[in-house]
């Protein structure tokens, strides 16, 4: 019995040891499985972390590459190959400045803007300018010509860089630049600030807002601005007070948005019934009556803080052709023009208008040659300055018009206009060529620096008077 008991005991003990072994092996297997799962989770989490990190970095690199690509369009050498770029002040742009912009930057003054802004008179400010800065004051160009961007409706990094490189005398805006009141205010405010920081004085911020046929803002729903009938109809009504209302209304919204120059009113007297270019824009065919209306527009604009511009001297109303499309000639004699065409200009000058725009009209019987008036020293200096006594700013009509570009390159046209006595060059077909041409003309003696300073003095005098 004892042996049987002992045998059973030994068998039970062995059985318990085998059971314990199995339980031990089973427990160790559970721990290993859990460790494996944990390791897989750690590896997966690590992989996801690095994937997101690398992906995020790639996104940032792609964004930098994209912005660098945008910056390479600054001053494109081949405008036909450039894409439409819409500058936005909300986009942070990289500094990929072009060689042209950098070269111009190196030529400009190293003096700090704060020192320039300390100038109290036009003469003091001009004395602190380099020759390059003085020459640049002679230009009014579009924001597209300034930046190299195909369509500009904001003032961001590219605008600031372009102004830093080329602090021109002013900018002119068209319908595509003007989307709504808030956008226009922001764009003009930023642009003005960039100019003040760079050159120490605000630019001319201009627009063609005549009312009637030619308007960039009036009548547009997004602006809620009033619209007016053609000036020919207002003139026919015989009430100059209506012209004053045109001036005050337009002046009020332009001033609110930040404009300080309006290329209006049209002072052309409609002496040729076949004329189409100013037929609807002129106040009529009688010089004295037209003067009464143009003076009221001037008064209205200036009361609202906007400079008026009498245009288009010596008078586009006697032509049959359109100078936008090609050569335009009037066969009116000097005596005839004194009796009619010159009257609104003479009266506007007496009223204190500080801008006169000279057109691309040829007047061979009055000027003695067939070149456009902007190239005629007799018309610009002898008659407008001398006979009519105008001492303000003489600005050209847009120099990208066919009456100029059909026969003259941008460089030649700019130099010829300055030699005739013009102060400011509006919208050359090729701004950089015109600027380079004027610089070269000063350096080789074709134009004197004193001639440049004469115009800059007038420009700065008007600008300081606006502040």
**What's residue 60's pLDDT?**
38
| CATH number of the domain located at residue range(s) 113-466 in this protein | 3.20.20.300
- Give Cα 110 to chain centroid, integer Å: 24
CA pair distance 191, 102, nearest whole angstrom: 20
The number of beta carbons lying within 10 Å of the beta carbon of residue 229 is: 15
**What's residue 24's pLDDT?**
43
The CA–CA distances, whole Å, from 321 to 17, 329, 361 equal: 119, 7, 9
- Residue predicted with more confidence, 58 or 281: 281
The torsion region of residue 215 among left (phi > 0), alpha (psi -120 to 50) and beta comes to beta
CA pair distance 75, 162, nearest whole angstrom: 9
The torsion region of residue 51 among left (phi > 0), alpha (psi -120 to 50) and beta comes to alpha
Asked if the model's pLDDT at residue 180 lies above 80, the reply is yes
Helix (H) or strand (E) segment spanning residue 362: strand 361-362
Confidence at 46, pLDDT banded by 50, 70, 90: low
**What's residue 44's pLDDT?**
60
**What's residue 6's pLDDT?**
47
- Residue predicted with more confidence, 240 or 29: 240
Residue among 300, 264, 299, 298 at smallest CA distance from 282 = 264
CA pair distance 397, 319, nearest whole angstrom: 16
Asked if the model's pLDDT at residue 61 lies above 90, the reply is no
CA pair distance 298, 210, nearest whole angstrom: 11
**What's residue 324's pLDDT?**
87
- Residue predicted with more confidence, 128 or 107: 128
> What percentage of the chain has pLDDT greater than the value 90?
72
- Residue predicted with more confidence, 422 or 102: 422
CA pair distance 206, 196, nearest whole angstrom: 16
Q: Exactly one of 324, 369, 391, 423 is catalytic; name it.
A: 324
pLDDT mean over 31-50: 56
CA pair distance 356, 261, nearest whole angstrom: 12
The CA–CA distances, whole Å, from 246 to 229, 234, 352, 353 equal: 10, 10, 18, 17
Question: pLDDT by residue (tens digit) across 30-40?
Answer: 545 556 655 55
> How many residues would you count in the chain?
467
Tell me whether strands 361-362 and 425-426 are parallel, antiparallel or unpaired.
Answer: unpaired
- Give Cα 268 to chain centroid, integer Å: 27
**CB of 281 closer than 8 Å to CB of 266:** yes
Q: Give me the DSSP letters along 287-299.
A: HHHHHHHHHHHHH
Q: pTM here? A: 0.77
- Residue predicted with more confidence, 363 or 115: 363
**What's residue 40's pLDDT?**
56
Per-domain residue ranges of the chain: 113-466
Asked if the model's pLDDT at residue 65 lies above 50, the reply is no
Whether 164 sits among the annotated catalytic residues: the reply is no
**What's residue 377's pLDDT?**
98
Q: Considering the chain, what is the average pLDDT of its residues?
A: 83
**What's residue 175's pLDDT?**
97
Q: Phi and psi at residue 259, in whole multiples of 5°? A: -75, 145
Residue among 156, 174, 185 at smallest CA distance from 254 = 185
- Give Cα 335 to chain centroid, integer Å: 40
The CA–CA distances, whole Å, from 159 to 64, 103, 107, 195, 208 equal: 19, 17, 19, 10, 21
pLDDT mean over 77-90: 37
Question: pLDDT by residue (tens digit) across 10-28?
Answer: 445 454 444 444 444 444 4
Q: Exactly one of 164, 230, 268, 397 is catalytic; name it.
A: 397
Least confident of 78-82, 136-140, 183-187: 78-82
Whether 316 sits among the annotated catalytic residues: the reply is no
Burial class from Cβ neighbours inside 10 Å (0-12, 13-18, 19+) for residue 321 reads buried
Asked if the model's pLDDT at residue 218 lies above 80, the reply is yes
Residue among 200, 262, 208 at smallest CA distance from 464 = 200
The CA–CA distances, whole Å, from 444 to 136, 168, 415, 448 equal: 18, 22, 12, 9
Q: Phi and psi at residue 136, in whole multiples of 5°? A: -65, -30
SS3 content of the chain, % helix, strand, coil (to 5): 55, 10, 35
pLDDT mean over 432-457: 98
Question: pLDDT by residue (tens digit) across 118-169?
Answer: 568 999 999 999 999 999 999 999 999 999 999 999 999 999 999 999 999 9
Asked if the model's pLDDT at residue 93 lies above 60, the reply is no
The number of beta carbons lying within 10 Å of the beta carbon of residue 93 is: 18
SS3 at position 212: coil
Question: pLDDT by residue (tens digit) across 235-268?
Answer: 999 999 999 999 999 999 999 999 999 999 999 9
pLDDT mean over 38-47: 58
| Local structure of residue 329 (DSSP, 8 states) | E
Tell me whether strands 86-87 and 151-152 are parallel, antiparallel or unpaired.
Answer: parallel
């Amino acid at each position: 019995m004892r042996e049987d008991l002992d045998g059973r005991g030994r068998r039970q003990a062995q059985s318990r040891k085998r059971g314990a072994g199995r339980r031990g092996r089973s427990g160790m297997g559970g721990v290993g499985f859990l460790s494996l799962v944990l390791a897989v989770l750690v590896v997966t989490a690590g992989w996801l972390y690095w994937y997101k990190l690398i992906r995020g970095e790639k996104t940032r690199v792609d964004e930098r590459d994209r912005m660098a690509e945008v910056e390479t369009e600054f001053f494109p050498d081949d405008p036909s190959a450039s894409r439409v770029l819409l500058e936005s002040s909300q986009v942070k742009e990289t500094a990929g400045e072009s060689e042209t912009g950098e070269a111009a930057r190196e030529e400009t003054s190293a003096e700090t803007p704060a020192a320039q802004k300390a100038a109290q008179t036009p003469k003091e400010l001009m004395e602190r300018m380099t020759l390059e800065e003085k020459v640049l004051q002679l230009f009014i160009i579009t924001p597209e010509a300034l930046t190299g961007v195909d369509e500009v409706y904001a003032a961001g990094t590219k605008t600031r860089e372009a102004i830093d490189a080329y602090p021109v005398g002013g900018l002119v805006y068209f319908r595509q630049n003007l989307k709504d009141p808030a956008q226009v205010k922001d764009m003009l405010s930023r642009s003005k600030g960039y100019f003040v920081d760079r050159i120490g004085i605000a630019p001319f911020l201009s627009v063609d807002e005549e009312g009637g046929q030619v308007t960039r803002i009036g009548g547009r729903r997004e602006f809620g601005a009033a619209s007016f009938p053609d000036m020919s109809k207002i003139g026919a009504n015989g009430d100059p007070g209506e012209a004053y209302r045109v001036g005050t209304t337009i002046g009020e919204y332009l001033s609110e948005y930040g404009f300080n120059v309006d290329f209006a009113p049209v002072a052309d007297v409609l002496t040729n019934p076949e004329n189409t270019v100013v037929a609807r824009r002129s106040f009529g065919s009688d010089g004295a009556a037209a003067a009464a209306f143009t003076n009221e527009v001037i008064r209205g604009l200036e009361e609202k803080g906007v400079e008026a511009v009498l245009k288009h001297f010596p008078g586009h109303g006697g032509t049959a052709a359109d100078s936008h499309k090609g050569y335009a000639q009037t066969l009116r004699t000097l005596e005839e023009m004194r009796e009619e065409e010159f009257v609104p200009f003479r009266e506007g000058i007496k009223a204190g208008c500080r801008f006169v725009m000279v057109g691309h009209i040829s007047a061979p019987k009055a000027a003695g040659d067939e070149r456009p008036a902007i190239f005629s020293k007799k018309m610009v200096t002898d008659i407008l300055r001398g006979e009519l006594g105008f001492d303000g700013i003489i600005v050209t009509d847009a120099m990208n018009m066919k009456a100029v570009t059909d026969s003259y390159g941008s460089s030649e046209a700019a130099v010829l206009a300055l030699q005739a006595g013009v102060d400011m060059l509006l919208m050359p077909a090729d701004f950089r060529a015109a600027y380079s041409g004027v610089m070269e003309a000063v350096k080789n003696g074709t134009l004197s620096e004193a001639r440049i300073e004469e115009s800059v003095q007038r420009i700065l005098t008007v600008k300081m008077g606006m502040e």
